[in-house]
């Protein structure tokens, strides 16, 4: 028998049955930071492809809602998601918060939202800045 939650006694992958766990309010926060040239940061609302900030916010929300379709063993759940973007001198900080009342957490939804929002900023600005980089991290995962 495996100690891994997503592997059964034969070694096959499986979705964990969370049906017996209590429903709790759960929340997770993830952050992505997209580093770029100051000139790029200054024009994120006026790029050849359009407003990268508004597009990335919407992309992050949409992605969180589809997490269970993208990650094979994720449970479909989500009651709230919020994605905010703050532009610094040479970066954009993206914060994604996901929440639900369920038997399992929403860290994958928060991480997916932050990742896809960062990818969207990258996609929309790559024509003017080929040196961008980004990182994604889970900041918080709580049961309330």
The residues that are catalytic are 123
Q: Which two tokens stand for residue 22?
A: 């209590």
Between the CA atoms of 125, 42, 35 and 70, what dihedral angle is there, to the nearest 10 degrees?
-50
Containing H/E element for 63?
A: helix 52-65
Helix axes 107-125, 52-65, angle to 10 degrees: 150
Find residue 84's DSSP bridge partners: 95
Q: Which residues contact 92 (CB under 8 A, 6 or more apart)?
A: 33, 34, 36, 41, 44, 53, 56, 85, 86, 118, 121
């Amino acid at each position: 028998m495996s100690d891994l939650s997503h592997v059964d006694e034969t070694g096959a992958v499986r979705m964990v049955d969370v049906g017996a766990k209590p429903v709790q309010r759960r929340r997770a926060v993830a952050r992505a930071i997209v580093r770029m040239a100051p000139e790029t940061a200054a024009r994120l609302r006026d790029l050849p492809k359009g407003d990268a900030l508004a597009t990335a916010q919407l992309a992050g929300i949409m992605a969180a809602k589809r997490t269970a379709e993208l990650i094979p063993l994720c449970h479909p759940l989500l009651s709230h998601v919020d994605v905010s973007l703050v532009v610094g001198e040479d970066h954009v900080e993206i914060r994604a918060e996901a929440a639900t009342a369920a038997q399992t957490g929403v860290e994958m939804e928060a991480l997916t939202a932050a990742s896809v929002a960062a990818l969207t900023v990258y996609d929309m600005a790559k024509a003017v800045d080929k040196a961008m980089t980004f990182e994604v991290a889970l900041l918080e995962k709580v049961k309330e």
